[in-house]
Amino acid sequence: MSTDVTSSAGLQDLLSPRVVRSTVLPFIQQQVSELESTLSRVCRYHLGFIDEHGDPSSGGDGKLTRASLMMAVADGVGLRPEDVRSQAAAVELLHNATLLHDDIADSDELRRGRPAAWKVFGVSLAIHAGNALQALGLRLVVDDSGPGHNEIAGSFTEALGLVHAGQARELTIRPDSAGLAVYEHMVMEKASALLEWSLGTPAIRAGKPEKDLAALREAGRHLGIALQISNDVEDIWGDPAVTGKPIRGDITRRNLTFPVLAALSADNPPGDHLGRLWQADNTTAEHLQTLADLIDEAGGRKTAERLSRGHLDSAVENLGRAGLSPTATAELTTLFDRIVNRAV
């Protein structure tokens, strides 16, 4: 149920990801290299800067989606990349801190097509490394003294609290009628909070009116839901070469992702059949295929894809009301689409 993305292909023809590569990425590399040396090594491995032997690596790094969104909005409100460089770095560090810890919590052995950090360095160091990335991100935001810094820092710690709440709430989703409501609540915390912050922060810095800020946050909220549901679909029917993770990790662990919840609540024979098979302690590829087929037949896939598309449309709609420059609006519209639809 990760909201991470793998390949850096597919965004490089856009401006904001190139700005991130030239402005934010070197800054992150420098900051992380100044951490205590063991932590630095674990973090640089997780971020894809080095391989497990400590040699430089160009693979495995993420798309830096959140930083790209932030840079695109910055451009759209007339800021220079440097004006939100610390914040763009911080949101990527925070996001990666949650991934480091998530992989331990979920016993996920693969991340971006490479062994997860805890498999290489052990649980202990991976826990500390996640904390170190989180602390570093917070320090960058708290130490910043540009316009709106109090509001930016306050909303950052609030978003962080929401992400942790969402991670815990995810564990409480049950396969009953209330499950979909809990799922929706979880997604807004776990997936949307940092995206809302990424889109809203440049507007705060630029002193934009409250209605523009509200539209950007609303766009982030819808984008998070669209992305999470799209990732849920991808886990079941996507290509592991694209996701960088083993296929069907979610249904192997019987995570109640959106397509499953939609199928279970569909009130039709395949949904009922799925309900009977769901709890069986069977993780063979054949059984997972049966579950996937039943989810599809019950309509879970179609409902998920439709809902994801609807939220993507709402995200783009809100973007159009945010008072950004037309160029930035076009860039963000393309970014939104690529982020959500990379593989579904």
Among 168, 178, 241, 285, binds a second copy (CB under 8 A): 168
**Range in contact with a second copy (rule: CB under 8 A) among 157-165, 194-202, 243-251, 264-272:** 157-165
CB of 98 to a second copy, least distance (A): 8
CB of 182 to a second copy, least distance (A): 11
List, in order, residues 6 or more apart from 230 with CB less than 8 Å away.
308, 340, 341, 344
Q: Which of residues 186-215 bind a second copy (CB under 8 A)?
A: 189
**Range in contact with a second copy (rule: CB under 8 A) among 18-26, 46-54, 156-164, 331-339:** 156-164
Question: Based on CB atoms, which residue is closest to a second copy, 160 or 191?
Answer: 160
Interaction between residue 167 and a second copy (CB under 8 A) = yes
Q: How far apart are CA 232 and CA 307, in angstroms?
A: 12
Q: How far apart are CA 276 and CA 235, in angstroms?
A: 21
Phi/psi of residue 178, nearest 5 degrees: -80, -10
User: How many amino acids of this chain bind a second copy (CB under 8 A)?
Assistant: 45
Among 27, 57, 113, 164, binds a second copy (CB under 8 A): 164
Q: How far apart are CA 187 and CA 322, in angstroms?
A: 23
Q: How far apart are CA 260 and CA 269, in angstroms?
A: 14
Residue spans of alpha helices (H) in 178-325: 179-187, 193-205, 210-237, 240-243, 249-252, 258-264, 269-277, 285-297, 300-320
Count CB neighbours of 128 within 10 A: 17
Question: Based on CB atoms, which residue is closest to a second copy, 35 or 292?
Answer: 35
CB of 191 to a second copy, least distance (A): 15
Angle 137-33-164 from CA coordinates, rounded to 5°: 25
Interaction between residue 172 and a second copy (CB under 8 A) = yes
Question: 85-105 and 193-205 are packed helices; what angle lies between their axes, rounded to 10 degrees?
Answer: 170
Q: Which of residues 12-71 bind a second copy (CB under 8 A)?
A: 35-39, 42
Q: Which of residues 114-143 bind a second copy (CB under 8 A)?
A: 123-125, 127-129, 131-132, 134-136, 138-139, 142-143
Question: Based on CB atoms, which residue is closest to a second copy, 42 or 332?
Answer: 42
Among 30, 80, 171, 181, binds a second copy (CB under 8 A): 171
Question: 85-105 and 65-76 are packed helices; what angle lies between their axes, rounded to 10 degrees?
Answer: 160
Among 93, 117, 153, 206, binds a second copy (CB under 8 A): 153
End-to-end CA gap in the chain: 15
Count CB neighbours of 270 within 10 A: 17
Site string (80-109) toward a second copy, x via CB under 8 A: ------------------x--x--xxx---
CB of 8 to a second copy, least distance (A): 27
Interaction between residue 6 and a second copy (CB under 8 A) = no
Task: Quote the longest CA-to-CA distance of the chain.
Answer: 59
The residues binding a second copy (CB under 8 A) are: 35-39, 42, 98, 101, 104-106, 123-125, 127-129, 131-132, 134-136, 138-139, 142-143, 145, 150, 153-154, 156-158, 160-161, 163-169, 171-172, 189
